[in-house]
């Protein structure tokens, strides 16, 4: 492609890229230009993406059914050993809080020592109950994961580190029957500021995003998704470094890959 004076033609491609609609030769052209270190175009993409995100507000407003919220927070509750806290109701509707207040009042009237002892017992009982509920949720989650790992159709894929992440490794477990994928990452350094890791499933040469993830300071990371596409035959699992929020197609360097 002939390059016009200045950035005019690149900025046309930048607008299309921000829209997520750039492909083919034009995409390669822009990628090559960006790889040359053009800060103007990189900033322009970022700037345009910010404007475009608000186009989401132009969609006709519609509330999701209550069941969506219920399923989501049930899943969150299973993931968290703390009980849900509803906005604005913490101070008035908590049964343990009322009980504690009652015990405290009784203790004041009766004897300070007895009251303190009662409150200690109550606190201990609360702590034990919370810990037991957390253990039960954790056990349920582990059982679910173990069932997926041991299913006859589950495949295990080892991923090895690439480029600057040579020391990294990962294991992916694909459960096509339940469309689940579990990824466990080790020794992967945190992504640069404004970047994230994105997982791809490559079937028949076409990459499909499986979501983004971060890593802990010790280099460990985990991703669990329940929406992998149906596939047969060979599959490749890869991780790339991408802008925060992820991208529709891989653009950044590959840090982990395995088949």
Contacts of other proteins in 179-218 (CB under 8 A): 193-194, 196, 206, 208-209, 211-214, 216
Please choose, out of 69-77, 99-107, 118-126, 250-258, the segment that lies near other proteins by the rule CB under 8 A: 69-77
CB of 54 to other proteins, least distance (A): 5
Joined tokens for residue 256: 């982990």
71 binds other proteins (CB under 8 A): yes
219 binds other proteins (CB under 8 A): no
Residues in CB range of 19: below 8 A, 6 or more apart: 48, 52
Whichever of 164 and 216 has its CB closer to other proteins, that residue is 216
Strand ranges in 127-250 using DSSP code E only, listed in sequence order: 155-161, 169-175, 180-186, 195-203, 206-213, 221-225, 235-243
- How far is C-alpha 77 from the geometric centre of its chain's CA atoms? 16
CB of 73 to other proteins, least distance (A): 7
Outline where the chain has alpha helix (H): 8-19, 24-35, 39-53, 66-79, 90-93, 95-109, 112-150
109 binds other proteins (CB under 8 A): no
Whichever of 248 and 253 has its CB closer to other proteins, that residue is 248
- How far is C-alpha 142 from the geometric centre of its chain's CA atoms? 19
112 binds other proteins (CB under 8 A): no
DSSP state of 36: T
Whichever of 51 and 112 has its CB closer to other proteins, that residue is 51
Burial of residue 159, with CB atoms counted within 10 A of its CB: 0-12 exposed, 13-18 middle, 19 or more buried: buried
> CA–CA separation, 83 vs 73, rounded Å?
11
CB of 39 to other proteins, least distance (A): 15
99 binds other proteins (CB under 8 A): no
CB of 223 to other proteins, least distance (A): 8
CA angle at 164 for the pair 158 and 166, rounded to the nearest 5° = 35
Whichever of 65 and 113 has its CB closer to other proteins, that residue is 65
CB of 94 to other proteins, least distance (A): 10
Whichever of 84 and 113 has its CB closer to other proteins, that residue is 84
Looking at 4, 28, 73, 126, which residue binds other proteins (CB under 8 A)?
A: 73
Q: What is the pairing mode between strands 235-243 and 155-161?
A: unpaired
If one counts every other C-beta atom within 10 angstroms of the C-beta of residue 121, the result is 11
Residues of span 16-55 touching other proteins by CB under 8 A: 16, 18-24, 26, 46-55
């Amino acid at each position: 492609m002939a390059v016009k004076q200045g950035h005019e033609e690149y900025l046309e491609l930048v607008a299309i890229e921000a829209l997520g609609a750039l492909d083919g030769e034009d995409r390669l052209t822009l990628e090559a230009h960006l790889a040359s270190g053009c800060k103007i175009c990189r900033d322009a993409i970022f700037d345009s993406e910010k404007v475009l995100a608000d186009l989401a507000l132009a969609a006709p407003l519609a509330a999701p059914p209550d069941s969506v919220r219920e399923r989501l927070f049930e899943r969150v509750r299973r993931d968290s050993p703390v009980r849900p806290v509803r906005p604005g109701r913490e101070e008035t509707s908590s049964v343990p809080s009322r009980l504690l207040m009652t015990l405290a009042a009784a203790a004041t009237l009766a004897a300070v020592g007895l009251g303190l002892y009662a409150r200690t017992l109550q606190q201990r009982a609360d702590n034990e109950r919370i810990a037991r509920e957390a253990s039960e949720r954790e056990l349920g989650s582990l059982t679910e994961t173990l069932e997926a790992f041991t299913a006859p159709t589950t495949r295990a894929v080892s991923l090895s580190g690439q480029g600057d992440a040579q020391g990294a490794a990962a294991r992916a477990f694909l459960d096509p029957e339940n469309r689940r994928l579990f990824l466990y990452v080790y020794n992967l350094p945190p992504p640069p500021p404004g970047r994230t890791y994105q997982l791809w499933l490559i079937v028949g040469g076409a990459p499909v995003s499986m979501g983004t993830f971060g890593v802990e300071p010790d280099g460990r990371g985990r991703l669990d998704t329940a929406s992998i596409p149906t596939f047969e035959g060979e599959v490749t699992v890869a991780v790339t470094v991408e802008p925060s929020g992820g991208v529709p197609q891989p653009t950044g360097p590959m840090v982990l890959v395995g088949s």
